[in-house]
């Protein structure tokens, strides 16, 4: 693989960030669907829920439509209380690593370990990985 191709490939950190962002967006979308479903089960409109929770109606709408990317705990508490639920009942389950692909599990484990090592060890790991990649090219 030439230098130009290597520069075009995303780094492991960029790939991890991209994967994390994708999972966060999927989770927020699931939260929105769950919020809408729970609200509708209770016969509540967005406006009624917003009033019960003491928040703006557009906030409920943005949450339900996945356009509100990071609601605070206070907001989630208010919404849950407005529907007579616990926050845990409002939140979708987080998929476990066991449900991810074996490659995603390994990348997540490696990423976790990389955040725990000191700079000297990180340099050693980069050298080892470079050696493995170079060996596979031949």
Q: Which of these ranges, 4-18, 76-90, 97-111, 112-126, has the smallest mean pLDDT?
A: 4-18
pLDDT of residue 98: 43
* pLDDT at 35 > cutoff 70: yes
Tell whether 57 and 26 lie within a shared domain: yes
Most confident among 11-25, 95-109, 111-125 (mean pLDDT): 111-125
Tell whether 55 and 117 lie within a shared domain: no
pLDDT of residue 114: 77
CATH number for 81: 1.10.260.40
Tell whether 102 and 128 lie within a shared domain: yes
pLDDT of residue 86: 93
Tell whether 81 and 132 lie within a shared domain: no
Tell whether 47 and 75 lie within a shared domain: yes
Task: Compare 136 and 15 and report the one with higher pLDDT.
Answer: 136
Tell whether 82 and 34 lie within a shared domain: yes
pLDDT of residue 95: 60
Average pLDDT, the chain: 82
Rounded to whole angstroms, the Cα distance separating 105 from 63 reads 29
Question: SS3 sequence, the chain?
Answer: CCHHHHHHCCCHHHHHHHHHHHHHHHHHHHHHHHHHHHHHHCCCCHHHHHHHHCCCHHHHHHHHCCCCCCCCHHHHHHHHHHCCCCHHHHCCCCCCHHHCCHHHHHHHHHHHHHCCCCHHHHHHHHHHHHHHHHHHHC
Most confident among 11-25, 93-107, 108-122 (mean pLDDT): 108-122
Q: Which domain holds residue 129?
A: 98-137
Task: Compare 12 and 56 and report the one with higher pLDDT.
Answer: 56
Tell whether 45 and 79 lie within a shared domain: yes
- Residue after which a domain boundary falls, among 79, 95, 111: 95
> What mean pLDDT is predicted for residues 118-127?
88
Q: How confident is the model at residue 99 (pLDDT cuts 50, 70, 90)?
A: low
Tell whether 76 and 47 lie within a shared domain: yes
Most confident among 35-39, 119-123, 129-133 (mean pLDDT): 35-39
Asked if residue 15 is part of any domain, the answer here is no
Asked if residue 11 is part of any domain, the answer here is no
Tell whether 80 and 106 lie within a shared domain: no
């Amino acid at each position: 693989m030439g230098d130009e191709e290597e520069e075009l490939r995303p780094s492991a950190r960029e790939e991890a960030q991209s994967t994390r962002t994708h999972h966060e967006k999927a989770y927020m979308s699931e939260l929105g669907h769950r919020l809408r479903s729970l609200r509708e089960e209770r016969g509540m409109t967005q406006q009624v829920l917003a009033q019960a929770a003491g928040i703006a109606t557009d906030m409920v709408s943005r949450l339900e439509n996945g356009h509100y990317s990071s609601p605070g705990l206070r907001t989630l508490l208010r919404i849950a209380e407005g529907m007579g639920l616990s926050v845990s009942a409002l939140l979708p389950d987080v998929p476990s690593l066991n449900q991810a692909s074996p490659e995603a599990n390994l990348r997540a484990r490696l990423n976790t370990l990389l955040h725990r090592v000191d700079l000297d060890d990180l340099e050693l790991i980069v050298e080892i990985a470079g050696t493995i990649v170079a060996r596979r090219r031949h």
